[in-house]
Structure 1
């Protein structure tokens, strides 16, 4: 099997995604600091974050339709150009010394819109540049890059902000999108043409492909519950760490252990190929119940940190494996639409967790919602083992016959 980095097309894609990931890693800290410096208001920060999140969630299914209907490379390139412009605009605004909140909000909304079209292109780009036998390693390499960037991002952001100010972090991110766009411009990606149909017909066809596979839609429920529970942990965990587990150091160590676990899981995904990938990956996700329940019980800090590291290692392994399985079993002409529903469920669950966790904590205390979240994760992720398609799924063949397209939808190419 040829290593994916020996293929020119994947090398270009990998380089572009790596540069973009590094740029993105410095923005969260810079954005928070920049808005708080400019306004002194956490409400203003919430508006900026919502301006990016809302269009991203609302437009994700449409982004999947566009990525399937047109060349995913061109869609990703255009999205990178738009995000380059928005990040450079914010950077220049911040460097001017008197930033306008309106400009930042509008740029965030436009960037969120562009990301709704970029996200569904990720899987088709890998499937269109890498042969099936090398896809797991290719997805693992992209996971390693993303997780390394997340691990180093806060430190890089801190150094950049301290040395030059938050505006330069946005300039760096905008530049990274420009480099990614240039690399996409010279990339050649295999694309299966899709007949032009009404947008609603395309959306229904994509949803039909999701519902036709019990292993897919039940796993999506597990992934959504996992992400909602992660939001609960991120919301309530810091207070428990500060008040009952030894202070800020415990929380920082927990986050760093999770980042190292994610990176370790990505490394394992490039080397370990399980026979029942979705079954075992979902059972690994169920391990996230452990840090939730241990935090709820205010268990000793080393136990909580170790459990969190193991759970994030499982997540780091799942992500490349899931991407690879989906690329193997979902027809290429609907891949972007199907993965857009995956992202919609996963990303949509997190704001729900962020909103409900503090309300529940105010009503019954922080331990109860953490414990409930832990039980739900265990039930939703481990419960997929009861689904025949999850138990039977291997790398080589879809356990169910290729589903027929619904009325009004294009048939498989």
Structure 2
């Protein structure tokens, strides 16, 4: 019922539809890209190169994207990024449909697309806070989480249908069209800027370095925030280890490719289930609950390392992904309530940067450790790290004290140096 009321809000409805189309388009790309590169080159290293180009530019430019998102209108930044990504995906699609794709063309296009995503990702929270009031943000984030999870469920199937019926090029064309439609819808969105305390100097006169430093200060001054980001980074590193070694164990020890497909699909449904649960849940200690949910990722890692029965691995992976689905709306709502709107894009960019930083390293170290000591060893290590780090955030005072007050829409959290009294931060005011 609440989702119907939210969608009556014209600006949020347009933003939500555009975001949904982009997510669906993006969900088909991993499968299509893998098949396209392997068909063109037959090389896993070539696929790693293309993925590395996209990830590298994204991580490199994320802090700059956060600064731009705070200095300028978030809608304009997101719209421009959508236009750039539309062009890059259509370019790759045309290359593939032409029948003679060049690897460096695809790698360059994905690098440009990764750069554009570095500017688009930090705008998500400002777009949510700019289109809905504080009391509706949890429902809005949960609704977006359900679409994100649902696209991961249906994306691979849609990609497979497109690839088998018409070739991988059409998957990229679909993604490009989705970005074009999203840009058109964003052009009609009206963003409301929350009222803030006046700044000492206009944004245009501030240096890039000062903006970066101020954004970082917002992160490190909150113990619940930066320790949670360490946990999120550990989770992503562990996920990279499982992604690289899990298929090997599934194929060689657990029954073949069908087993790995079953594990991945169960995870996608678990992700959707966790997102649906987050839409209804109102935990008294949201950050603590969300981080403890992430700690369940230790289960599928440990079971794969122990070569447990396939049904146990499938169930454990579904549970672990449900923890991720539960985290996303809870975390985003908490951050949007606690972080000043003028710093939200920069803080979000650091969030993405620190959360994703461990993945490239884990992609490299996981297989190296498996070659040296066997696949079980890196899986056991990843299970221990993600379990201890995520559950260990319960020892952080700010994580335990961060809560949602009875009035709704306000996050109560203790800042460093507080004398036991909670600081309440609200972003209800709309200009």
Q: Please state if 1:216 is matched with 2:251.
A: no
Deviates more, 1:236-245 or 1:131-140: 236-245
**1:392 lines up with 2:368 in the alignment:** no
Pairing 1:114-129 to 2, within 5 Å after superposition: 114-129=116-131
Is the aligned partner of 1:178 residue 2:184?
no
Distance, in Å, in 2 between the alignment partners of 1:54 and 1:347 is: 11
**Which segment drifts farther, 251-260 or 72-81?**
251-260
- Give distance in 2, aligned partners of 1:254 and 1:102: 33
Which residue does the alignment assign to 2:138? 136
Would the aligned equivalents of 1:22 and 1:149 in 2 still touch at CA under 8 Å? yes
Distance 2:8 2:33 in 1: 37
Match of 1:113 among 97, 112, 115: 115
1:40 Cα deviation (Å)? Answer: 2.5
Separation in 2 of the partners of 1:246 and 1:30? 25
Q: Secondary structure at the match of 1:6?
A: coil
CA contact (8 A) 1:285 1:381 kept: yes
How many Å separate the matches in 2 of 1:330 and 1:215?
Answer: 12
**Is 2:366 the partner of 1:364?**
no
| Structure 2, unpaired ranges of 5+ | 197-201, 405-409, 418-426
> Tell me, what secondary structure is at the counterpart of 1:270?
helix
> Residues 384 and 303 from structure 1, CA distance in 2 versus in 1: closer, same or farther, beyond 3 angstroms?
same
For 2:216, which of 204, 207, 218 is the aligned residue? 207
C-alpha displacement of 1:401: 5.0
**Equivalenced residues, count:** 406
Matched residues in 2 for 1:401 and 1:349: separation?
A: 27
Deviations 1:283-310 (CA, angstroms, capped at 9, x unpaired) = 1111111111111111111111111111
**45-54 vs 333-342, which moves further:** 45-54
Q: Which moved more, 1:367-376 or 1:214-223?
A: 367-376
Distance apart, 1:402 and its partner CA: 9.5
Give the 3-state SS of the residue equivalent to 2:357 in structure 1: helix
TM-score between both structures, scaled by the size of structure 1: 0.95
Report the CA distance shift for 1:137/1:397 in structure 2 as closer, same or farther (over 3 A).
closer
What CA distance in whole angstroms lies between the structure 2 residues aligned with 1:106 and 1:369? 32
Instruction: Name the residue aligned to 1:232.
Output: 241
Partner of 1:409: none
SS of 1:187's partner is coil
Cα distance between partner residues in 1 of 2:324 and 2:43: 34
What TM-score, normalized to structure 2?
0.91
Say whether the 8 Å CA contact 1:137–1:270 is kept in structure 2: yes
Change in 2 beyond 3 A, CA 1:110/1:149 = same
Please state if 1:294 is matched with 2:303.
yes
Cα distance in 1 between the residues matched to 2:258 and 2:94: 35
Choose the corresponding residue for 2:320, options 302, 311, 315. 311
Residue by residue over 1:100-159, the C-alpha shift from the partner in whole angstroms, topping out at 9 and shown as x without a partner, is 222212211111110000010011111111111111111111111111111111111111
More deviation in 192-201 or 361-370? 192-201
| 2:342 equivalent among 333, 346, 352 | 333
1:188 aligns to 2:190 (yes or no): yes
Q: How does 1:3-402 map to 2 (within 5 A)?
A: 3-191=5-193, 195-196=203-204, 197-395=206-404, 396-401=410-415
Please state how far the C-alpha of 1:242 moved relative to its aligned partner: 2.1
Contact 2:223 2:415 in 1 (8 A): no
Is the 1:71–1:191 contact (alpha carbons within 8 Å) kept by the matching residues of 2?
no
Question: Does the residue aligned with 2:282 lie in a helix, a strand or coil?
Answer: coil
Q: Deviations over 1:353-405 (max 9, x none)?
A: 111001111111111111111111111101000011000001234423599xx
Runs of 4+ in 1 over 6 A off after TM superposition: none
Q: RMSD in angstroms over aligned alpha carbons?
A: 1.9
Residue ranges of structure 1 left out of the alignment (5+ in a row): 404-411
Structure 1 residue 350 displacement after superposition: 1.1
Matches of 2:38 and 2:261 in 1, distance apart?
22
Paired with 1:316 and 1:200, the residues of 2 have a C-alpha distance of 35
Contact 1:61 1:344 in 2 (8 A): yes
Structure 1 stretch displaced more, 249-258 or 349-358: 249-258
